[in-house]
Amino acid sequence: MSVSTQQVAGVGGVIVATALPYYEHASAPAGLAVDLDRYAEHCKWLVDNGCHGVGPNGSLGEYSSLTDEERRAVARTAIEAVDGAGKVVVGVHGAGSHQARHWAELAAEDGADGLLCLPPTLYRANRAEIVAHFEAVASIGLPVMVYNNPIDTKVDLTPGLLAEIAGIDNVVAVKEFSGDVRRVLEIRERAPGLQVISGADDVVLESLLMGATGWFAGFPNVFPAESVWLFELATAGRLEQARALYEPLVAAFRWDSRTEFVQAIKLGMDHVGRFGGVCRPPRGPLTPAQREQVEADMARAVAALGKGSL
């Protein structure tokens, strides 16, 4: 059974958590200025290659290393570059609900299609505080995808808690990044109206087979057309073909669940002739051993794709 047009038109399908390019500039933060022209080209390229949308200002987009002016400019650039050809789901993460709501207001003003929101980012919030945080963001009126990343936030949006959050008007989906694919079915059971979006590249096939309706993705920055094809194979139930495509890619995809995921994905982009480049602090360069492993994992993926795994 294929994913519905309504789901793809909303926050489902393949939405790419976009990496952010920089260029050297002495007066910019850490000597690196955001390259908005290159970023616009990248967003357009992703949608032209079949991705259903882009997600600026996520963790992969290094939102926490940006100034307020840069962060808004990045969101506006994505919205203008996509120009209605795909969905733009803007990250509005904030330490407090007032900050997340502020970014949600700006995203709505700038024409975003939806919002991606973590729970409070610098505080291990309790259940009531988490619900209040999402209520504040959802009050803006745009569709909200809550983001469960217990590794980084130390707050776990469990299936039971998501059932309560799903009752908030305008909360339509969860980006599930716990890595536990058993949760897909449990979330669907407890919150049947909530779309489950795979947030970790290295469990995407498993999640889609269990009923996830989308993929908020990292490595499609490197392999957009192939990633969309994987999504379509999985949601159409064409398991043999999906596995043949997925298995040589998953070693690279595993980097999406590691601490150095931003650096690894940017190196992957460089490997295939796109521009990835460096990161702003606190993210430093990969070690020589890490670079060697990313290059080896990428080489395997590229070789498999070149042999017609599609």
Instruction: With cut-offs at 50, 70 and 90, classify the pLDDT of residue 310.
Output: very low
**124-179 pLDDT tens trace:** 999 999 999 999 999 999 999 999 999 888 999 999 999 999 999 999 999 999 99
3-state secondary structure of 23: strand
Is the CB of residue 185 less than 8 Å from the CB of residue 210? yes
How is residue 83 written in tokens?
């120009």
H helix runs in 85-139, sequence order: 97-110, 127-138
Asked if residue 206 has pLDDT above 50, the reply is yes
What is the spatial distance between Cα 22 and Cα 51, in angstroms, rounded to a whole number? 23
Angle, to 10 degrees, between the axis of helix 68-82 and the axis of helix 36-48? 40
pLDDT, residue 307, reads: 63
Query: Would you call 60 exposed, middle or buried from its count of C-beta atoms within 10 A (0-12, 13-18, 19+)?
Result: buried
3-state secondary structure of 140: coil
> Closest Cα partner for 49 from 3, 77, 18?
18
What is the spatial distance between Cα 252 and Cα 295, in angstroms, rounded to a whole number? 9
Domains of the chain: 5-238 (3.20.20.70)
At which residue do the structure tokens 């997925």 appear? 246
Q: Is the full-model pTM beyond 0.85?
A: yes
